[in-house]
Amino acid sequence: MEVRSSCLWVADHASYVAIDPNAIDKVAKEMNGSMPAVEWDFEGIHFYDGGPLTAQYLLVLDALNFCFWPDEELHYEHLARGLRNALHVDSNCFSADRLQKYTGPELRQLLNWPRPLPLEDERARLLRELGFVLAKHFEGSAAKLVERANKSAVELVELVAGHFPGFRDHSVYKGQQIFIYKRAQIFVGDLWGAFKGKGLGEFMDIGSITMFADYVVPAVLRSWGILRYSPCLAEKVDKTEKIVAGSEEEVEIRACTITAVEWLKEKLSKRCGEDVTSVQVDWWLWSSGIQNCETTPYHHALTVYY
């Protein structure tokens, strides 16, 4: 999996975004040798039954885990909760057969959202794709897909990105293919968190995945001085002007976020005297960002990847 190496290449060739290693040192020092342990589902909004239905739920959740901001009132928590409630009403609503039939308005109804969702038809198309590929290659079951990875996080990310076109989160930047795989990696992180590293959530190489490049974490890193934006990019982000998905600016924000978290993780591991994972650092940064999302400006890109 080339997420780490291709993102480092972007960081080395970036024109609009810089990483400040001194700010990383400072943050690592302030942590005083301990990492805040942010629990998966600290919000109490997800479905969990300890079995295959949880894997099915998480795959559906992460197929739709992107771009909430066009509706100011819509947030990730509405998706996580809405899908959980739908499963409580009808435990069959995410079967591969049903997934292949959803329309945009049906998805909105499933989530009990009062108006059209952002990118609603595209979201429904991604669900139908999920159902089709699950039925064709994995007996309709996300748990079967997970088992196929033999407890390897990297293998599971590759399986997901290889089979489901909607999860192939990559771009071409200055002539190089750059892999980010946000939703494929967060699916692995969610399994690991939900099953507490056991059963369907056991991955021998969980330390090999990177943070999940969304729009919340870069805003946190920027507010801490770890990411610096060029004046023109800073102005666009602060004025909430759209950043074009796949543009150099957008790829740099995402790739530099991944690289900065890798560097921060290394510093924290040294100071804590144990191997810190990018997933742990991600959840700490994300939970801190989500509590301050009104005050920290984030970049707005219309995309299905994050």
Residue 84 vs 271, nearer CB to ligand 56B: 84
In the block, tokens 């399986």 appear at 159
The answer to whether 128 and 101 are in contact (CB under 8 A) is yes
Q: Measured from the CB of residue 279, what is the shortest distance to ligand 56B in angstroms?
A: 8
In the block, tokens 């795989």 appear at 181
Helical pair 182-194 and 52-63, crossing angle rounded to 10 deg: 150
Q: How far is CA 251 from CA 20, 192, 247, 256, 304, in A?
A: 18, 27, 6, 8, 14
The interface region with ligand 56B, picked from 60-68, 103-111, 133-141, 149-157 by CB under 6 A, is 60-68
Q: Measured from the CB of residue 72, what is the shortest distance to ligand 56B in angstroms?
A: 9
The answer to whether 58 and 142 are in contact (CB under 8 A) is yes
Known catalytic residue at 214: yes
Catalytic residue among 169, 190, 214, 282: 214
DSSP string covering 122-166, please? HHHHHHHHHHHHHHHHSTT-HHHHHHHTTT-HHHHHHHHHHH-GG
Q: Measured from the CB of residue 303, what is the shortest distance to ligand 56B in angstroms?
A: 9
Position 216 contacts ligand 56B (CB under 6 A): yes
Which of 47, 57, 76, 195 touches ligand 56B by CB under 6 A? 76
Which of 9, 47, 66, 102 touches ligand 56B by CB under 6 A? 66
The answer to whether 86 and 57 are in contact (CB under 8 A) is no
Which of 282, 284, 301, 304 touches ligand 56B by CB under 6 A? 282
Q: Measured from the CB of residue 238, what is the shortest distance to ligand 56B in angstroms?
A: 17
Of 284-303, binders to ligand 56B (CB under 6 A) are: 286, 290, 293
Residue 22 vs 198, nearer CB to ligand 56B: 198
Q: How many residues bind ligand 56B (CB under 6 A)?
A: 24
Position 249 contacts ligand 56B (CB under 6 A): no
Determine the Cα–Cα distance for residues 46 and 215; give it in Å rounded to an integer.
21
Residue 177: phi and psi, rounded to 5, are -80, 125
> By the criterion CB under 6 A, which residues form the site for ligand 56B?
40-43, 65-66, 68-69, 75-76, 190, 193, 211-212, 214-217, 282-283, 286, 290, 293, 306
